[in-house]
Amino acid sequence: MTPDGWLGAGRDGQRPWKNEIRQVLQMEPDLDVEVLPHEHGLMIKEIIFGRLGLSRGLVRRIRRGGQVSLNGKPAFITQRVQAGDRIRITFSDEPTLIQPQPIQLDIVYEDQSLVAINKPAHMAVHPTATYPDSTLANGLAYHWQCQGLARKIRLLHRLDRDTSGLILVAKEPYAYQQLVKQLRNRSLKRTYLAIVNGRLENQQGVIDQPIGLSGQGHGLKRAVMAEGKPARTYYRVLAEYKHGSLLELELATGRTHQIRVHLAWMGHPIVGDQMYAGLNSAIYRQALHAWRLRFNHPRTNQPMELKAPLPEDMRTVLKAYQQ
């Protein structure tokens, strides 16, 4: 069995959350809330730190360049409120220092708070000494520049250069803080598809092995080692072939190269993974794809599910295995 839509219909397919998109697109980036009856008599800061769950760092940012208003008038966060009052919080932001470049992006979803991009393989996520430009971040900076936005690029997670699939980026400080919370408490679910060598002994399971630097591969290569950091990966076999298997994987932690290292440790490295499996003429990168994201929208708390169909190079490998 394979999960619904892992091949996908592409960006033009029906999306069950299209009505929510229309609702979210109309929102302003400021946070506007009504004081509830049980909050009568509280100070604004008690609501900010309580129901709204803002971090102290984000409140400091508001004090530096944002604003808090009560019923349309500037207010101190120590002011007390009455039921029915309206609190409005304006967040300040800072422009990105990343150079905008006109790079075509496959945007799966975008609203005032976040954007999800289907990153192709062979594209770095952000500039580095090795890849100083033509990255996803460069393209996103240009995309926002065309919208008249000067926003810092806040990546919720990263993908290796040769891993394809979904990247989630927050467009404003509040959304970033709320999504980071979900990432930490593991309610933000990241699901991957991988083609691996061989057939696994068990159809599903968990790999709970610490990961650390191996000291090889120019300081980049990782390995399972007792002194490493805790790492946990859940896996499920979706299809089996004579020479390999298609797996669905979900991260419980987010260590560098985690899926690649764990599968290599199991004896079933990802096909095409030059660092952990060696060269493979069937595909010129690791056959790993960030297929699905599940989370609650940081503003509406509505459940979101975003998918990116399996890319053509991985489909080609599966077709060859099926013959």
How many CB atoms are closer than 10 A to CB 276?
A: 19
Residue type for position 94: E
Measured in degrees and rounded to the nearest 5, phi and psi for residue 206 equal: -130, 135
Q: Answer whether 35's CB lies under 8 Å from 71's CB.
A: no
CA dist 213 and 154 (Å) reads: 26
Q: Tell which residue, 293, 206, 221, has the closest CA to residue 252.
A: 206
Helix or strand (DSSP H, E) at 298? none
The catalytic position among 85, 111, 160, 162 is 160
Strands 154-155 and 232-240 turn out to be: unpaired
Strands (E), the chain: 31-34, 67-70, 73-74, 86-90, 107-110, 114-119, 154-155, 164-170, 189-197, 204-208, 211-213, 222-224, 232-240, 244-251, 288-296, 303-307
Neighbouring-strand partners of residue 223 = 212
Q: Give the orientation angle of helix 173-184 with respect to helix 56-65, to 10 degrees.
A: 170
Burial of 78 (0-12, 13-18, 19+ CB in 10 A): exposed
> Residue 299's closest CA among 40, 17, 20, 19?
20
Q: Is 208 labeled as catalytic in the residue annotation?
A: no
Report the distance separating Cα 33 and Cα 70, nearest Å. Answer: 10
Bridge partners, residue 305, by sequence: 294
Active site residues: 160
